């Protein structure tokens, strides 16, 4: 028998473009009506990209035609931003996604081990030292490292409004799963729990007035990334890579993900660019210039080249980022360069 339940079950075969999850589990299917062989479905997306909307509409219609007794099909696909009156996702668009937060910027990478959290920690502190009010959200649910790198590990308090009050260190407000679990306890969750947690980190945290909220994403293009794009309009994404092709090749997938959900790329950062010996010789351990070449290919800004410095590693291990411990050191300068570029973009 054809009913709302069977329609929703059938729509679970429709995957969001570029992802393995379906539009029902992501919560995009808002209304389903069935009667006398007529099926009407309302789908509400965060993306305003016409190609994405057309593909989902076509995929829904094709999926529903396979049901018996269907005489007519109407699929309405809209943008949540457009229907709610909130701003369209795009450069400089986020003014009402999170109360009091002017800009939300995601720090992302296609693969792990490229130093994305190191960039996030130092960039947030650099922005704070330049006079911006800054928050840093650690969205790596399985492997949170921001508490270690920022030198703080305490449970957030709860405000009178029953919201989490983020702890603060080095002038940056912080939130991480690492504050909520004990020691080395693993987080063993499926996708829906990750989505719910990220939504709570955005909506149930008392961020206050911020010029920038940086979001340290886990590697890849999965649940955490799409959950964030669903929950709040992003002003842009910063992509972190290392010079070698193995990293740059996967970075293209991260850039493609942001394009699919209509988030502008603010630029590419190349980390671990080279090592300088005590004699001044430049040793390119991971190759040369992959990040800059990819930025040129993608026609996006190349934000900085970050060499391998022991001081950067020590800062992360000791919980005092190098931009705080040694702001005048050469190791800190690329992070200040990126921070100044972001501030100038919206001044």
DSSP conformation letters of 206-254 = ---SEEEEEEEPPSSSSHHHHHHHHHS--SEEEEEE-SSHHHHHHHHHH
Q: Is residue 89 part of a domain?
A: no
The CATH number assigned to the domain holding 270 equals 3.40.50.300
Most confident of 3-17, 20-34, 124-138, 151-165: 124-138
Range of 198's domain? Answer: 101-345
Same domain, 230 and 310: yes
Same domain, 208 and 315: yes
The CATH number assigned to the domain holding 69 equals 3.30.300.130
Same domain, 206 and 280: yes
90 has a pLDDT exceeding 80 = no
Residues 245, 290 contacting (CB under 8 angstroms): yes
More confident site: 134 or 248: 134
Same domain, 19 and 131: no
94 has a pLDDT exceeding 60 = no
312 has a pLDDT exceeding 50 = yes
Q: Is residue 255 part of a domain?
A: yes
Same domain, 111 and 43: no
Q: Is residue 293 part of a domain?
A: yes
Residues 263-298 pLDDT 10s: 889 999 999 988 888 888 889 888 888 888 888 988
Among candidate residues 84, 112, 131, the one where a domain is terminated: 84
Q: Is residue 333 part of a domain?
A: yes
pTM: 0.71
Same domain, 58 and 115: no
84 has a pLDDT exceeding 70 = no
Q: How many distinct structural domains can be found in the chain? A: 2
Most confident of 89-93, 100-104, 185-189, 343-347: 100-104
Residues 123-163 pLDDT 10s: 999 999 999 999 999 887 666 889 899 999 888 888 888 88
Same domain, 200 and 114: yes
Among candidate residues 84, 110, 145, the one where a domain is terminated: 84
Q: Is residue 246 part of a domain?
A: yes
pLDDT for the residue numbered 334: 96
Q: Is residue 150 part of a domain?
A: yes
Buried b (16+ CB within 10 A) or exposed e, 220-238: bbbbbbbbbbbbbbbbbbb
Average pLDDT, the chain: 83
pLDDT for the residue numbered 185: 52
Same domain, 137 and 42: no
96: DSSP letter:
S
Same domain, 15 and 131: no
Same domain, 234 and 279: yes
Among candidate residues 34, 55, 84, the one where a domain is terminated: 84
Rounded to whole angstroms, how far apart are CA atoms 310 and 272?
11
Same domain, 155 and 275: yes
Q: Is residue 297 part of a domain?
A: yes
Residues 189, 231 contacting (CB under 8 angstroms): no
Q: Which residues on adjacent β-strands are paired with residue 271?
A: 306
Rounded to whole angstroms, how far apart are CA atoms 23 and 29?
7
Q: Which residues on adjacent β-strands are paired with residue 35?
A: 38
Same domain, 288 and 176: yes
Q: Is residue 90 part of a domain?
A: no
């Amino acid at each position: 028998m054809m009913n709302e339940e069977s329609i929703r079950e059938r729509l679970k075969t429709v995957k969001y473009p570029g992802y393995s999850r379906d539009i029902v589990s992501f919560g995009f299917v808002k209304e389903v009506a069935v009667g006398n062989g007529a099926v009407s479905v309302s789908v509400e997306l965060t993306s305003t990209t016409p190609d994405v909307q057309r593909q989902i509409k076509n995929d829904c219609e094709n999926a529903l035609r396979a049901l018996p007794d269907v005489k007519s099909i109407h699929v309405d696909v809209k943008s949540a931003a457009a229907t709610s009156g909130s701003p369209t996702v795009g450069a400089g668009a986020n003014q009402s996604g999170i109360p009091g937060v002017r800009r939300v910027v995601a720090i992302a990478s296609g693969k792990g081990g490229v130093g994305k959290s190191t960039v996030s920690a130092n960039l947030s502190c650099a922005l704070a030292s330049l006079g911006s009010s800054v928050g840093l959200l650690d969205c790596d649910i399985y492997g949170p490292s921001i508490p270690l790198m920022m030198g703080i590990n305490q449970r957030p308090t709860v405000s009178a409004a029953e919201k989490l009050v983020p702890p603060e260190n080095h002038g940056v407000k912080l939130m991480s799963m690492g504050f909520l679990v004990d020691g080395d306890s693993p987080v063993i969750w499926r996708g829906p729990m990750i989505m719910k947690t990220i939504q709570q980190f955005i909506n149930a945290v008392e961020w206050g007035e911020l010029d920038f909220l940086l979001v340290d994403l886990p590697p890849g293009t999965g649940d955490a990334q799409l959950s964030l794009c669903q929950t709040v309009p992003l002003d842009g994404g910063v992509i972190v890579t290392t010079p070698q092709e193995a990293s740059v090749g996967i970075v293209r997938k991260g850039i493609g993900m942001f394009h699919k959900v209509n988030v502008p790329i603010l630029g590419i950062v190349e980390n671990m660019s080279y090592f300088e010996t005590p004699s001044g010789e430049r040793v390119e351990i991971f190759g040369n210039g992959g990040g800059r070449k990819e930025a040129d290919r993608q026609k996006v800004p190349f934000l900085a080249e970050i060499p391998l410095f022991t001081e950067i590693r020590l800062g992360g291990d000791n919980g005092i980022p190098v931009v705080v411990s040694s702001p005048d050191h050469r190791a800190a300068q690329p992070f200040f360069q990126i921070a100044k570029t972001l501030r100038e973009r919206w001044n």
